[in-house]
Amino acid sequence: MSSTARALLAVLLATASLASAKDTVRIAFIGPLTGGVSANGLGGRNSAELAVKLRNADAKAKYSYELMALDDECKPNVGVQVATKAAADKNVIAAVAHYCSTVAMGTVDVYHRFGLPVVIWGAVLPDITYANDFKEIHRVNGTMINQNETAAKFMVAQKYKRWAIIHDTTDYGKGHNRYFSEYLQKNGGQILGTFGVTADQQDFSAELTRIKELKPEVIYFGGITPLGVRIRSQMDKFGVKAVFQGTSGIISDAFVEGLGPLAEGVVAFREGAPAEKLPGGKYFIEQYAKAAYSDPPEAYGPFAFAAANLVMDAVEKVGPDRKKVRNELNRTHDYDSVVGKISFDDHRQNAVPLITKFVVQGGKWLVWEDSEYASGKRPLVR
């Protein structure tokens, strides 16, 4: 072996030795990895995992990171179980947690009791951050309040006047109904009827028969993908002709795939910009593609990526100590991320002022302004 080769080998061995000498820090990811909204959970997990892989490839990182992925199934009771498992594990320094609001609401007390700092990456119910003053709970995505204010103003501006509302009877669905109804009436819209349905309900013949009699121009749906797919499908069966308007809970590839052509013209609203229009969106999309995941990142993948990086940056700065990491996260202000600047208010809620309008066109979700519906080439079904 030449002297040059021996020198190179020595450098590589030294680098490997240094890398192996790094302490390993465990971070939990919690989301729905199975069930009706698993597409969103898998996209979030992959995105958080991508952040960890990129950090571990960075020679400047002080620590090596390990992601422990846990499935909350979008069920509150399961969520409490896995949240307790993560929080009770002293090797877990922080968590990137929850797409489903009902699960997050059931687990925040667990994180508080165990002192585990958590960054919410997808759940939108305001009470997750605002109902308690738990210093451990942070959220990088926005809430349903601004989402529904924008939704009401936009749809009224499209000259719609009459709505029927269908919402699931979880805290998530009731929250969407509350805020949308409030803002719709403030902006001059009329609610003809409001119908609460259970998240596992299969038959909507009674509700849709009554709605058909009311003749709304728009059906507002407050719920998540599986329920939305069933309701939109049965609207066609019962001959209910109205625009189907949803929330961020249906913005997923799975919603479009589940409905096929019936998804065309569905509108929905979500806080933040789509990945390709985010400040670091190009970088995120390129790195996600390189990782060759079999599932797309979905709507909230960039938020999970940002949450994981926020946690790791805190660990890099203060070390793998839960209380110190919590305090560092609490001080977050103008933090650069792929979803833009992150600044927490006094309840550790990030301000996400931009609400993006989406519509399904040609089998995929498009930003409203980029669609033929916005230009008038295609009319929404009335």
Write out the two tokens for 140: 């990088």
Whether residues 363 and 263 fall in one domain: yes
Report the CATH number at residue 196. 3.40.50.2300
Q: In this structure, are 161 and 233 located in the same domain?
A: yes
Residue 84 lies in a domain: yes
Q: How many domains does the chain have?
A: 2
d(CA 150, CA 15) in angstroms, rounded, equals 52
Closest CA to 100 of 67, 75, 71: 75
Select from 188, 180, 172 the least CA-distant residue to 227. Answer: 172
pLDDT at 96: 98
Say yes or no: 169 and 24 in one domain: no
Report the candidate in 299, 223, 225, 232 with the shortest Cα–Cα distance to residue 261. 232
Are both 321 and 172 inside the same structural domain? no
In a domain, 164, yes or no: yes
Taking only the tens place, the pLDDT of each residue in 61-98 is 999 999 999 999 999 999 999 999 999 999 999 999 99
The angle formed by the CA atoms of residues 124, 130 and 135, to the nearest 5 degrees, is 105
pLDDT at 374 over 60: yes
Are 14 and 149 in a shared domain? no
Return phi, psi of residue 18, to 5°: -65, -45
Asked if residue 78 and residue 11 are part of one domain, the reply reads: yes
Range of the domain at 61: 3-142+275-351
The reply to whether 186 and 200 lie within a common domain is yes
- Indicate whether 1 pLDDT > 70: no
Quote the pLDDT of residue 152: 98
**Residue 380: inside a domain, yes or no?**
no
50-86 burial code (b ≥16 CB/10 A, e <16)? bbbebbbeeeebebebebbbbbbbbbbebbbbbbbeb
Do 257 and 162 have their domain in common?
yes
* Interatomic CA distance for residues 126 and 176, integer angstroms: 10
Residues 156 and 305 in one domain: no
Average pLDDT estimate for 18-25: 74
- Among candidate residues 313, 224, 170, the one with its CA nearest the CA of residue 41: 224
Give the pLDDT band (50/70/90) at residue 12.
Answer: very low
Same domain (yes/no): 232, 361: yes
Instruction: Report pLDDT digits (tens) over 28-61.
Output: 999 999 999 999 999 999 999 999 999 999 999 9
Report pLDDT digits (tens) over 225-253. 999 999 999 999 999 999 999 999 999 99
Is the per-residue pLDDT at 6 higher than 90?
no
Q: 317-367 pLDDT, tens per residue?
A: 999 999 999 999 999 999 999 998 999 999 999 988 789 999 999 999 999
Quote the CA–CA distance of 122 and 117 in Å, as a whole number: 16
Give the residue, 12 or 208, on which the prediction is more confident.
208
Phi first, then psi, for residue 198 (nearest 5°) are: -80, 155
Q: Same domain, yes or no, for 364 and 221?
A: yes
User: Is the domain of 293 the same as that of 345?
Assistant: yes
What was the pLDDT predicted at 10? 52
